Amino acid sequence: MNRIIEVCANSAQSCVEAEAGGAARVELCAGIPEGGTTPSYGEIVMARQSTERIAIHVLIRPRAGDFLYTETEVGAMLHDIQVAHQLGVQGVVIGCLTPDGDINEPLLDRLMAAARPLSVTFHRAFDVCRDPHAALELLIRHGVDRVLTSGQEATAVQGIPLLRELVSQADGRIVVMPGCGVRADNIARIESETGAREFHTSARRVVESGMIYRNERVPMGSCAVTSEFETVQTDRHEVARYVSRTCIK
């Protein structure tokens, strides 16, 4: 089976790069330093208009932080899913937990009902749930298509033991997709040691600003950044390295 690469795309331009590099799918999101939040209407529109073949899955996450949501936040998520339908994307990425660290089953029902027939991925809220094996069975029962996980560790490499267990437990009933710290120099190891076939990566590079005049005394946000005149963007050449099965030395 061919390796399937999903790129965490932070912009419509990153979607263009991911497609050019041979990725099968993108998770389109904003707020990468915050772990990802829902992208804007305009970003989704331009991602759709600027690509031809790649599947676009939109992250549905109203804020940074934990995955325990108020009813107001749930309302925003449901409206964002409706927008995803209207704009013709192929999937959404969702997640929700209870105060006790279990998957919030009633809320999952509501989100799934709103999302179908789009493809549904359960995001890394899974990595901070109390019982990953029970959570996996719950996601299978509810018809979730895949789960994005680092194996409940800081990186997918560290999470290989649990990832291996989850892939075996899933037994083809749901896709277990390793993500977080998946790189061209370790993807073959994760693949061989877990049996996973879909992988989530950013494949980004730093892009230098075209600005000539620069006032570097004035930051635009409170987040620590290297420079206001640098951004990050998916790189098609890096994506191609992940897609290739010869990217390991």
User: Structural domain boundaries of the chain?
Assistant: 9-208+223-243
Q: Which CATH architecture has domain 9-208+223-243?
A: Alpha-Beta Barrel (3.20)
- pTM, two decimals, is 0.89
Residue 22, Ramachandran bin (φ over 0: left; ψ between -120 and 50: alpha; else beta)? left
| Residue % of the chain over a pLDDT of 70 | 93
What is residue 247's predicted lDDT score, i.e. its pLDDT? 42
What is residue 225's predicted lDDT score, i.e. its pLDDT? 53
> Please, which pLDDT band fits residue 246 given cuts at 50, 70 and 90?
very low
> Please, which pLDDT band fits residue 213 given cuts at 50, 70 and 90?
confident
Q: What is the mean pLDDT of the chain?
A: 92
Is the pLDDT confidence value at 2 over 50? yes
Long-range contacts for 76-81 (Cβ within 8 Å, ≥24 apart)?
A: 77/38, 77/111, 78/110, 78/111, 78/114, 80/38, 81/111, 81/114, 81/115, 81/118
What is residue 227's predicted lDDT score, i.e. its pLDDT? 66
Compute the half-sphere exposure of residue 218: CA atoms within 13 Å on the CB side of its CA: 3
